[in-house]
Structure 1
Amino acid sequence: MSTREVPEGRLRFVLPFEAAPAEVPLLRRAAVRQLGRWGLPAVTDEAALLVTELATNVFKHVGEGVSATLILEWRGERLRVEVYDKSRVVPILRSAECDAECGRGLHLLTALAADWGTVLTPVGKGVWCEIRLSAGKACPCVERGVEALESYRGRQIGRLGRVGEAGLDEAAVELIADLLHWSAACGRDPDDVLDRAQMRYEAEAEAAA
Structure 2
Amino acid sequence: MLVSEVVTNAPRHTRGPLRLNLSVRDTDRACPVRYAADLEAEGGRRTELLDLPAGAWGTTCMPTGKTTWFEIPIATAGSVTDRISGT
TM-score by length of 2: 0.62
- Residue-pair matches, total: 73
Q: Give the one of 63, 69, 94 matched to 2:35.
A: 94
C-alpha deviation, 1:122, in angstroms: 5.0
Q: Is 2:49 aligned against 1:108?
A: yes
Whether the aligned pair in 1 keeps the contact of 2:11 and 2:18 (CA below 8 Å) is no
Structure holding more strand per residue: 2
Return the letter of the residue paired with 2:33.
I
Instruction: Assess, with a 3 A threshold, how the Cα gap between structure 1 residues 137 and 80 changes in structure 2: closer, same or farther.
Output: farther
Q: Give the one of 4, 11, 16 matched to 1:39.
A: 11
Aligned twin of 2:70: 129
Instruction: Assess, with a 3 A threshold, how the Cα gap between structure 1 residues 135 and 35 changes in structure 2: closer, same or farther.
Output: closer
Instruction: Assess, with a 3 A threshold, how the Cα gap between structure 1 residues 137 and 31 changes in structure 2: closer, same or farther.
Output: farther
C-alpha deviation, 1:128, in angstroms: 0.8
Return the letter of the residue paired with 1:96.
A
C-alpha deviation, 1:130, in angstroms: 0.9
Return the letter of the residue paired with 1:110.
D
Return the letter of the residue paired with 2:36.
S
Segments of 5+ residues of structure 2 without an aligned counterpart are 80-87
CA–CA distance in structure 1, aligned partners of residues 73 and 21 of structure 2: 9
Q: SS in structure 1 opposite 2:49?
A: helix
Instruction: Assess, with a 3 A threshold, how the Cα gap between structure 1 residues 83 and 38 changes in structure 2: closer, same or farther.
Output: same
Instruction: Assess, with a 3 A threshold, how the Cα gap between structure 1 residues 137 and 125 changes in structure 2: closer, same or farther.
Output: farther
C-alpha RMSD of matched pairs (Å): 2.6
Q: Answer 1 or 2: higher relative contact order, Cα 8 Å, separation at least 6.
A: 2
Structure holding more helix per residue: 1
Return the letter of the residue paired with 1:91.
P
C-alpha deviation, 1:123, in angstroms: 2.4
Report percent identity of matched pairs.
27
TM-score by length of 1: 0.30
Post-superposition CA distance 1:69-94 (Å, at most 9, x none): xxxxxxx5432111111111111221
Q: SS in structure 2 opposite 1:119?
A: strand
Higher radius of gyration, 1 or 2: 1
